[in-house]
Amino acid sequence: MTERKKLNQKDIPLLDAIVKYNEKKPAYFCIPGHRYEKGINLRFREIVGDAIFSFDLTETPYMDDLHNAEGAIWEAEELAREVFGADDTHFLVNGTTCGNQAMILSTAFEGEKIAIPRNAHKSVLMGLILSGAEPIYLMPEISHETGLLGGITPESVETMFRNHPDCKGVFVVSPTYYGVCSDLKAIAEICHKHNAVLLVDEAHGAHCYFSDLLPKGALEQGADMCAQSIHKVTGSLTQSSMLHVKSKLVDQKCVDANLHLVQSTSPSYLLLISLDAARHDLANQGKVLISKAVELSEYVRTALKSVAGITCVGHEIVGTAGICDLDITRLTISASNLGLSGYQLKDLLFEEYNCDVELADDKNILAIVTFANTKEDMEQLLNALIAISEQYKDGMPITQHGKFPAKPELVLSPRKAYFLEKEDIEWKDAVGRIAGELIAPYPPGIPVVYPGERMSQEVWDFIEEYRISNGHFHGPADSNLDYFKVIREIK
């Protein structure tokens, strides 16, 4: 075997490999069919520019193979592994969605148990359908003050193991979309005491490894595996993520095999290069970049303290509702004291003040702040909120916030429910029936009902309120939810 050159965090090996190939620019008889830029629609080329298309290549010489990485991709993954302190790192082109699937597939097989929090992203359901594992659902605490779901407590994990000592692993989302963190260190210790693994959906947390002012990263707290949407919080392209393994309990070969199952055989090199380049920036200036994001978000959070009727969640929630820490680059802002729901506030900010925030719920909006935001962005958001505070100062506070419903009865595993025969019924008749499809208000895409669960009145009421007021769901085939798929009853 040829000796490998010493890796250096100043390098971007995948970018170098493709530049070397493009210098040669051979007559091209491989996939993709557009041959650099020549086959791309002219209008698209004019708008986007040509350069980007010559980087949309495939497993040509110099460029390695994601599914059997030995060259430039291996080097890029190795550099990322070093930055995040993992034993093994995999680049993902199907987002954290496929990272979550691979983590579940590598932990619990058909009929085996895995603990899943109720605030898990819908990709977790896909992992359960693929693996056939039996979920034991854990309910996060609820922060009544802020309307947010809190953390999964170590105590609830301990209780779960008491009832299910054969559980193979615990899956936790930390930080959540809203930046809420669970006590991963304590949960990891409990898992390991029971010879089980801790899997962390760290879709929203890759930046945490680069600032002392942010929660610690999952790997730093003992997680065995975590998946990170590098595209959500740093500078890589949409859909590019990483899966890290740091564990003696995880079979690396099994993880490799499962990644084959859930990833494309034609990975986009644009995505892969963007991961390599984002790693380069994090390795060389991560602390500076992430402290800029912290500074920008803290600027708005502090200024909002003196804006009447507007609240912004801060460190005061740490220690309540199972919340162990908070990512302060997430701005969870409410104008409910002015009579505005989160949905109304989000629309108002977009339509009248040209500020687009990530999501809304009935009480809050969520603004995600990254190092790529500017002081001007923050001023624009702040000034908009100041103006709204003045404009709605006579509004009546909204006190009623829909609370997340208790988990319904699990009748069938998600996999069994997925493959059983279904029928469409009117949504109004759904109470008492076994769900045949998922319902996840989107964003954030957190399922309220999973296939295989009996629809309770409480869950139905919760969804109905959302349907009337906002109405965008992932999961149901009928996106208006006039009809709903349930498991066909055996006569």
Ligand X SMILES: Cc1ncc(COP(=O)(O)O)c(C=O)c1O
Amino acid type, 142: I
Q: Which of 135, 445, 452, 476 binds ligand X (CB under 6 A)?
A: 445
Min dist. Cβ of residue 176 to ligand X (A): 6
Kindly tell me which of 435 and 446 has the beta carbon lying closer to ligand X.
Answer: 446
- Non-local (6+) Cβ contacts of 306 within 8 A are none
448-477 residues near ligand X, rule: CB under 6 A: none
CB of 430 to ligand X, least distance (A): 26
Q: Where does 42-170 have alpha helices with state H? A: 42-48, 72-84, 95-105, 122-131, 154-163
Residue nearest to ligand X (CB): 95
Q: Specify the stretch interacting with ligand X by CB under 6 A; choose among 4-12, 92-100, 163-171, 251-259.
A: 92-100
- The DSSP 8-state label assigned to residue 6 in this structure reads P
Q: Which is nearer to ligand X, 123 or 153 (CB)?
A: 123
Residues 379-438 interacting with ligand X (rule: CB under 6 A): none
Tokens of 260: 């084959």
Minimum CB separation of residue 239 from ligand X in Å reads 7
Among 94-102, 263-271, 374-382, 448-456, the segment contacting ligand X (CB under 6 A): 94-102
CB neighbourhood size of 459 (10 A): 22
Based on the shown chain and the rule CB under 6 A, indicate whether residue 444 belongs to the binding site for ligand X: yes
Does the protein bind ligand X through residue 173 (CB under 6 A)?
A: yes
Specify the stretch interacting with ligand X by CB under 6 A; choose among 93-101, 105-113, 331-339, 377-385. Answer: 93-101
Tokens of residue 226, six digits: 């975590």
Rounded Cα distance between 491 and 488, Å, is 9
Determine, following the binding rule CB under 6 A, whether residue 361 of this chain makes contact with ligand X: no
Q: Which stretch of DSSP H or E encloses residue 113?
A: strand 113-117
Of the candidate residues 54, 97, 221, 263, the single one contacting ligand X (CB under 6 A): 97
How wide is the angle at C-alpha 109 spanned by C-alphas 104 and 115, nearest 5°?
A: 50
Binding residue for ligand X, selected from 76, 160, 167, 203, defined by CB under 6 A = 203
Name the segment binding ligand X (CB under 6 A); options: 90-98, 109-117, 153-161, 401-409: 90-98
Q: Check binding of 143 to ligand X (CB under 6 A).
A: no
Task: Check residue 241 for interaction with ligand X (CB under 6 A).
Answer: yes
Residues 408/432, Cβ–Cβ less than 8 Å: no
Of 109, 114, 77, nearest to 93 by C-alpha is 77
Q: How many residues bind ligand X (CB under 6 A)?
A: 14
Residue 201 near residue 171 (C-beta atoms within 8 A): yes
Tell me: does residue 95 bind ligand X (CB under 6 A). Answer: yes
Question: Which stretches of 349-474 are assigned E, i.e. beta strand?
Answer: 359-360, 364-368, 422-426, 440-441, 473-474
DSSP string covering 251-264, please? -HHHHHHHHHHHS-
Q: Which one, 241 or 389, has the nearer CB to ligand X? A: 241
Cα–Cα distance measured from residue 282 to residue 289, given in angstroms and rounded to the nearest whole number? 8
What are the residues binding ligand X (CB under 6 A)?
95-97, 100, 121, 123, 173, 177, 201, 203, 229, 241, 444-445
